[in-house]
Amino acid sequence: MASNSDTPPTQNILIVDDDIAVCKMLSLLLEEEGYRCTIAQEAETALGMLTNTPFSLVICDIKLPGKNGTWLLEKIQEYHANIPVIMLTALGETKLAIDCLHIGASDYLLKPPKMTELVRAIERVKAQKSIELAQERYQRELEATVAARTRELQTALKDVNQSYQNTLLALVAALDAREQETSEHSLRVVTYAVAIARQLKLNSKELQIIGRGALLHDIGKIGVPDAVLLKPGELTPEEWEQMRRHPLVGYQMIKSIPFLSEAAEIVLNHHEHYDGTGYPHGRSKEEIPIGARIFAVADALDAMTRNRPYRKGMSLPAALQEITRYAHKQFDPFVVEAFLSIGENELLRICAEINSQPLWHEALTDRLVSADFQ
């Protein structure tokens, strides 16, 4: 594995050549230029030296006894890639020298090298290595800065998510304060709506929006007078008119809250019917957002299967038949098909889970904030 440590300044040079006279000549000349030199006459010996000594440059002949200079270059690239290599080659070995450049050599010179050319080559290597080290330092500093900024962003997002959750909790608590059954109904409908949305292969973002819209669909009832909202008997036409305003009131309440702006469309349209007979705007078919069309089925299922003071809740099979009967009328037939594909056994399991476990507001709103529906 290549070393990741910074290369020391180019001053401790390993000269590898089987011709001892060439080694001594190069060593003498380079030492006069201020470099420290060590000599090796075989590739394997040189590789061992590289393991134990922090050389900053290797000058290596291509032709060596036993393992040749190309083999040593490959080993240096494998185990000591931070050490630059200048290859020496005879006049007829230019192709081999070019191959060495492809392997990773920094430069090559013809033998015997002229001293001025050798010093220039070493200076070029030093300059290149300085640039590489500066780039590595910059990269490390940049990565450290990005990591620090990422941590800051994660903290900020966590704070934002907590703020979102607190907003949802406050709105659900407001529902609780007006009508206990309204908020409990909303929590159950979230579970049904998300189950249907999964059957339609909606993504986590869409599931999140539908969950938020289902949770807050009746938030506009905060604006309905108690005398109407909590009236035990039938409502008068005027009172129904007041009740029918709650989708628009709810929409106006949350549409300006950025993380609820898309869910607000479900709040506005949750009483629209597929055939256009709903309210407040009489929208039909695809004019109604998919989230609201999904909600309509989930809402009807919960309403039909829950006991009321004035009637007993339907069985699940009876509710399924009723929803099927109103496909193309109150409900989108495509959504009804997806709903029915969940299967009666799975719906019974969901119902049992809802009835047997407390639906804690905080746990559910945390999921609606994080989009943890997958």
Tens digits of residue pLDDT in 64-101: 999 999 999 999 999 998 899 999 988 777 788 888 88
List the structure tokens of 123.
């200076």
Cβ burial of 310 (10 Å; 0-12, 13-18, 19+) is exposed
Q: What is the pLDDT of residue 8?
A: 45
Half-sphere exposure of 315 (CA within 13 A, CB side): 4
Give the least confident one: 84-93, 108-117, 144-153, 337-346: 144-153
Ordered DSSP codes for 298-340: HHHHHHHHS-BTTBPPPPHHHHHHHHHHTBTTTB-HHHHHHHH
Give the pLDDT mean for 256-284.
92
Give the least confident one: 124-128, 130-134, 301-305, 352-356: 352-356
Q: pLDDT tier at 271 (50, 70, 90 boundaries)?
A: very high
The answer, as to whether pTM is greater than 0.85, is: no
Q: What is the pLDDT of residue 160?
A: 65
- At position 75, the amino acid (one-letter code) is K
Q: What is the pLDDT of residue 2?
A: 40
Q: pLDDT tier at 37 (50, 70, 90 boundaries)?
A: very high
Q: pLDDT tier at 115 (50, 70, 90 boundaries)?
A: confident
Q: pLDDT tier at 285 (50, 70, 90 boundaries)?
A: very high
* Ranges of H-type helices in 179-260: 180-199, 204-215, 226-229, 237-243, 246-254
Q: What is the pLDDT of residue 180?
A: 54
Give the pLDDT mean for 182-190.
70
In a 3-state reduction of DSSP, which class is residue 346?
helix
| Residue 202 clears pLDDT 80, i.e. is over it | yes
Q: Please give the radius of gyration of the chain, using alpha carbons only, rounded to the nearest integer.
A: 38
| Residue 3 clears pLDDT 50, i.e. is over it | no
- At position 102, the amino acid (one-letter code) is H
| Residue 33 clears pLDDT 80, i.e. is over it | yes
% of the chain beyond a pLDDT of 90: 34
